[in-house]
């Protein structure tokens, strides 16, 4: 069964079981604010991150077995400033080998935290991570080859907000947890006892893991938050293993101000955004006039047709209410939206000297994948999916890039929608499956959607990634990545 057919069947089941309606009728829980560790004031000791086994209540009363980073589920929001070097001590107490990859950071391969920087149980990994790039929303998560999907799903993920002089002086809401919120969006499955579950089957390998329950910052949606009167900023991360999410507002358009790697030149208003796993966007919500507004999330957002149809049946058409913001009488950020957010210029193809092509390969198909899943005990290992006909191999370098060269990378697949990620850089999207790039995605990115037809990105690598610490490029459907839809490259 392909992804579309699978989504159709699960979508139909959700409607038949009434679970969609149940969500809508539940009263909203308070939005959890992930504890923020603000490192901008200075760093006088090593920064401890403990990967640990724990238990967490997602809001249904059950104590689900989880992983966390310093916390019971997920990690802290780290706020850092351009120019700092972050001396991490990442200690592994999950009784399984892991890694922590800094997704979105422009850093050398030896501190990137990819599959070559394994942290064995009980060991500590101590990279010094330089923050060179501009203000941007980044994240960190397990990148343990063959186990990235399971470990990230269980909770090994956190957010890193990079600020710079421009972002700190920008006329934008920036009071964390008051008018500036970080939202980690995930889809989960819960069993009959309410425990978070994750079962791998051939179908899961083929489609990626698709949960039926939306969770934000570790709490089951819908959620509610009161905010002061004025503009409110939402920093959004799609941390699902495989689900694309279509986001919109109950009232009015979405106002997008930033993509993964920084601010857009000016705000873009759009009816909705389609977020792949791994993508980040920042949006503003204006609660100057409105009493309240809600973020809507379409859980089947990767194929507008069937989802739009289901939404239509149950009213709204934009998906489920994920988070309702209601204003209080207190005045918050009452400035208006800045006309200019950054000096970002259009992408310049003139320096391009190298063009590389990557074709994503889904491998042998569902039945064989199911057999492999059973035989291999839920670990795809070195995998059966691939890129350019080859599954990921830890000891094979697939591409060699010269530092400082500007390149075009063309990515394609003859299949469903996949999200493609490149380590160690931000890039600009030139075209997306053969079509123009939506205005809201024309900023600095490290994720691109790939479907039928070529997606092209303009990219330059400025840091070293040697043979023993190469960068990765891969599908960010984590089960596809674990199954081999990943390659390695050096930058020298
Ligand atoms: Cu994929």
Assigned CATH topology for domain 3-25+171-331: Immunoglobulin-like (2.60.40)
- List pLDDT tens digits, range 68-125: 999 999 999 999 999 999 999 999 999 999 999 999 999 999 999 999 999 999 999 9
Q: How far is the CA of 485 from the centre of ligand 1 (A)?
A: 7
- List pLDDT tens digits, range 329-366: 999 998 888 889 999 999 999 999 999 999 998 876 65
pLDDT at 304: 39
What is the phi-psi region of residue 110: left when phi exceeds 0, alpha when psi lies from -120 to 50, beta otherwise?
alpha
- List pLDDT tens digits, range 157-201: 999 999 999 999 999 999 999 999 999 999 999 999 999 999 877
pLDDT at 206: 80
Percent of the chain with pLDDT over 90: 78
Interstrand relation of 352-361 and 418-422 (parallel, antiparallel or unpaired): unpaired
pTM, two decimal places: 0.92
Q: How far is the CA of 447 from the centre of ligand 1 (A)?
A: 12
The domain spans of the chain are 3-25+171-331, 36-169, 352-491
CATH class of 36-169: mainly beta
What length is written for the chain?
492
Report how far residue 76's alpha carbon sits from residue 381's, in angstroms, rounded to the nearest whole number. 29
Q: How far is the CA of 214 from the centre of ligand 1 (A)?
A: 21
Asked if the 352-491 domain carries CATH number 2.60.40.420, the reply is: yes
Closest CA to 73 of 61, 81, 65, 83: 65
Q: How far is the CA of 492 from the centre of ligand 1 (A)?
A: 28
Q: pLDDT band at 367, cuts 50/70/90?
A: low
Q: How far is the CA of 199 from the centre of ligand 1 (A)?
A: 18
- List pLDDT tens digits, range 385-403: 889 988 899 999 999 999 9
Q: How far is the CA of 370 from the centre of ligand 1 (A)?
A: 17
Interstrand relation of 124-125 and 427-431 (parallel, antiparallel or unpaired): unpaired
Q: How far is the CA of 476 from the centre of ligand 1 (A)?
A: 6
SS3 content of the chain, % helix, strand, coil (to 5): 15, 40, 45
Q: How far is the CA of 275 from the centre of ligand 1 (A)?
A: 14
Q: How far is the CA of 148 from the centre of ligand 1 (A)?
A: 14
Q: How far is the CA of 266 from the centre of ligand 1 (A)?
A: 32
Report how far residue 397's alpha carbon sits from residue 471's, in angstroms, rounded to the nearest whole number. 10
C-alpha distances (whole Å) from 245 to each of 56, 100, 319, 322, 332 are: 24, 24, 10, 11, 29
Q: How far is the CA of 304 from the centre of ligand 1 (A)?
A: 19
pLDDT at 339: 87
Q: How far is the CA of 187 from the centre of ligand 1 (A)?
A: 17
Q: How far is the CA of 420 from the centre of ligand 1 (A)?
A: 8
Q: How far is the CA of 210 from the centre of ligand 1 (A)?
A: 13
11 or 77, which is more confident:
77
pLDDT at 153: 98
Q: How far is the CA of 425 from the centre of ligand 1 (A)?
A: 20
């Amino acid at each position: 069964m392909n992804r579309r057919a699978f989504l159709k069947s699960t979508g139909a089941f959700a409607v038949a079981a009434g679970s969609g309606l149940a969500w809508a009728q539940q009263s909203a829980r308070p939005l959890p604010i992930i504890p923020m560790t603000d490192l901008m004031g200075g760093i006088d000791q090593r920064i401890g991150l403990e990967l640990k086994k724990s238990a967490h209540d997602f809001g249904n009363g059950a104590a689900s077995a989880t992983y966390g980073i310093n916390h019971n589920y997920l990690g802290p929001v780290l706020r850092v400033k351009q120019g700092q070097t972050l001396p991490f001590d990442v200690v592994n107490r999950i009784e399984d080998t892991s890694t922590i990859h800094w997704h979105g950071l422009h850093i050398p391969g030896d501190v990137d935290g990819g599959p070559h920087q394994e942290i064995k149980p009980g060991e500590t990994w101590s990279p010094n991570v330089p923050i060179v790039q501009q203000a941007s929303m980044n994240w960190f998560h397990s990148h343990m080859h063959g186990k990235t999907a399971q470990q990230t799903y269980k909770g090994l993920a956190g957010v890193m907000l990079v600020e710079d002089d421009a972002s700190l002086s920008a006329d934008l809401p920036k009071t964390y947890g008051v008018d500036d919120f970080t939202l980690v969006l995930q889809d989960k499955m819960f069993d009959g006892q309410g425990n978070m579950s994750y079962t791998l089957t051939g179908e899961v390998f083929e489609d990626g893991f698709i949960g039926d329950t939306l969770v934000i910052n570790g709490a089951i949606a819908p959620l509610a938050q009161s905010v002061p009167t004025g503009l409110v900023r939402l920093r959004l991360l799609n941390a699902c293993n495989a689900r694309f999410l279509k986001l919109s507002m109950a009232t009015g358009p979405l106002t997008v101000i930033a993509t993964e790697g920084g601010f857009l030149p000016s705000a873009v208003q759009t009816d909705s955004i389609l977020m792949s796993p791994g993508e980040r966007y920042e949006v503003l919500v204006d609660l100057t006039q409105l009493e309240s507004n809600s973020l809507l999330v379409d859980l089947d957002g990767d194929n507008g047709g069937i989802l739009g149809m289901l939404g239509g049946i149950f009213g709204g058409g934009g998906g489920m209410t994920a988070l309702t913001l209601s204003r209080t009488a207190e005045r918050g950020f009452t400035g208006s939206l800045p006309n200019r957010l950054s000096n970002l210029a259009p992408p310049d193809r003139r320096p391009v000297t190298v063009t590389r092509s990557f074709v994503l390969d889904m491998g042998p198909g569902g039945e064989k994948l199911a057999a492999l899943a059973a035989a291999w005990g839920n670990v795809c290992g070195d995998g059966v999916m691939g890129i350019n006909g080859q599954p990921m191999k830890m000891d094979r370098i697939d591409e060699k890039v010269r530092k400082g060269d500007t390149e075009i990378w063309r990515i394609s697949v003859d299949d469903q929608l996949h999200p493609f990620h490149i380590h160690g850089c931000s890039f600009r999207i030139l075209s997306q499956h053969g079509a123009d790039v939506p205005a809201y995605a024309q900023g600095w990115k490290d994720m691109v959607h790939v479907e039928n037809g070529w997606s092209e990105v303009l990219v330059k690598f400025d840091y070293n990634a040697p043979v023993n610490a190469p960068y990765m490029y891969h599908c960010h459907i984590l089960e596809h990545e674990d199954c081999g839809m990943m390659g390695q490259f050096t930058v020298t």
